[in-house]
Amino acid sequence: DIQMTQSPSTLSASVGDRVTITCRASQSISRWLAWYQQKPGKAPKLLIYEASSLESGVPSRFSGSGSGTEFTLTISSLQPDDFATYYCQQYNGLHTFGQGTKLEIK
Amino acid sequence: QLQLQESGPGLVKPSETLSLTCAVSGGSRSSSGYYWGWIRQPPGKGLEWIGTTFYSGSSYYNPSLKSRVTISVDTSKRQFSLKLRSVTAADTAVYYCAAQYCSGGSCYAYDPWGQGILVTVSS
C-alpha cells in the first residue's frame, strides 16, 4: 500500500502570506497526485490534478509541483477564502489520502 | 455538468449492511471514461478512500476494507452503489461519492463530488 505523509498538520498564516504544504509518498506515484480544499460541512473541492494541473475555475494563486515521491501545494498570496483544510491524494492504482493540513488564520 | 447525489439510510444497526446509492445526472463526456468512487470521512477526521469501480464492472478497494466492501455500477440507471457489511460504530462517517475521468493517458482526480450523506452506526 502507498502511504501519503502530509505536513504540516496545522499551519497558521496571515492574509497575503505565501504558504507551502508538502506531501510525500512512500513510493513513486509519478505525477498521479491531486490536491483538494475542504471547508466545514462541505465536500472537498479539487484544486490540482496530475501534480501540477490547475483545475478549471481555481484561482492562479494555487499551484502544485513535484513528481515521484515529493509534492507541494503553494498558495502565493493567501486570501480570506483560503482558510480551510487541504488534502493530497495519490491515485496511482489504489488511492490514498494524506492526513490533511488545517490552514488557520494567525 | 456532471452531478452526483448520494442516497440511503442515515442510521444502520451494528453488524448489518450499509447500502448507499449515488445517482449520476448531466455531463457530456462518455460514461465509459469514468471511474466511480466512494470516500468517507468520520466526524472530525480526515478522508478515507473506500474504493472505485469502472463502467466495465471492475472494482478496486482499500485493502483495509476489502473484505467487507462491494462497489457496483448500473449504467442503464446511471447510478453506482456501495455495500459495506458487518458495520460497527467505527464505520460512522459522512460518505461521499465522486467521479474521476480518465482519457488519452490523462486522469483527472475526483471531480465532482456528491454533497455527502452522514451514516451513523448505532443500535
Choose among A36, A97, A100: nearest Cβ to B49: A97
User: Using CA atoms, how far apart are residues B73 and B10, in angstroms rounded to an integer?
Assistant: 21
Q: Cβ contact (<8 Å) for B100 and A1?
A: no
pLDDT tens-digit profile of A1-43? 999 999 999 999 999 999 999 999 999 999 999 999 999 999 9
Reading phi first (left if > 0) and then psi (alpha if -120 to 50, else beta), residue B104 is in left
User: Using CA atoms, how far apart are residues B59 and A6, in angstroms rounded to an integer?
Assistant: 27
pLDDT tens-digit profile of A34-69? 999 999 999 999 999 999 999 999 999 999 999 999
B46, B33 Cβ separation under 8 angstroms: no
A50 at the B interface (CB within 8 A)? Answer: yes
Q: How far is A94 from chain B (nearest CA, A)?
A: 7
- The alpha carbon torsion through B108, B110, B114, B120 (nearest 10 deg) reads 170
- Looking at this protein, which amino acid is placed at residue B96? Y
Choose among B49, B52, B111: nearest Cβ to A96: B49
